[in-house]
With several copies, the nearest count.
Chain A
Amino acid sequence: MEKKVSRICPVSDPSTTYFLQITWEKDLGVGFDVILTDGQLAWAGRVTEDEISKEAADMEMEREKYIEELQKVLLFRGQTDKYNFDISKGEASGECLNFSYEKNLKDVSFRLGSMDLQAVSSPAETIREMISYCLHSIMGLQTKNEDLRKENERLLSDVDDLQGQLLKCVEAKEELETELYKRFILVLNEKKAKIRSLQQCLKEAKEATEGPTLKRD
């Protein structure tokens, strides 16, 4: 079960603060429960799947599109300035309250939905549950934060390690090249020395051969 608690200020009385709690199963489109409280009293109601379909049909809006709009306005997944809420109390007793929500377009706004909420018998219990839910969310987020922070630290150290290894690898590659060339030069120069000495021997051998022949000539 999913829950979302938000702070709203009704357009008809922006100075007052209400807290809106939406509870739903996986898909908002199969219906959702609404709780509204001003910190003292609380009202509750439910929007059923059929009412959602009827509302979408009345607005000649595709059902999926309409549910998307509901998610934006009620779960605050859209731009908050594009949506308004309004609350009007039925009788003075405050037993019943009408809650409506609308979308602002440029110069016009159209109602996305409205519903009558009934006062709950024990508002204190409802408020306690709402605050407990908030504290539970805070704990969950703090734990998630801590996990992410630790994961970050681990990744940072991985990045450090890899940068170190990469540096070492680059150095090792340069060193390998230098070392191989050094060895190759030594071995090659041995051959060159050998060639020089053989050429010298050959030269002398030729002189030795040509020498007597020259004399005889």
Chain B
Amino acid sequence: SSETKEHFACKYDRYGDSYTADTDMAQLKGLFSRMSNLR
């Protein structure tokens, strides 16, 4: 729903990385691997 979208948009950037929660190696690797090949 738009509320949910709104909610997540506040907490996560468009790539799914949290604005506030610290990241670690595994999370960042997962994030990067989900970002499609940027070429």
Contact = CB atoms under 8 A, between A and B. Distances in A.
Contact of A188 (B23, B29, B35, B38): B23
Interface residues of B, number: 19
A190 B13 contact: yes
Interface of B: 13-15, 17-25, 28-29, 31-32, 35, 37-38
A188 B35 CA distance: 14
With most chain A CB atoms within 10 A of its CB, the pick from B20, B22, B24 is B20
Contact of B20 (A182, A185, A187, A199): A199
B16 to A, nearest CB: 9
A150 interface: no
Contacts, number: 54
B29 A192 contact: no
Interface of A is mostly: helix
A181 B13 contact: no
Contacts of A184: 28, 32
Contacts of B13: 187, 190-191, 194
Interface in A127-180: 178-180
A179 B39 CA distance: 8
A185 B15 contact: no
Contacts of A178: 25
Given A190-B13, A190-B15, A194-B13, A183 B20 contact: no
Contacts of A196: 20
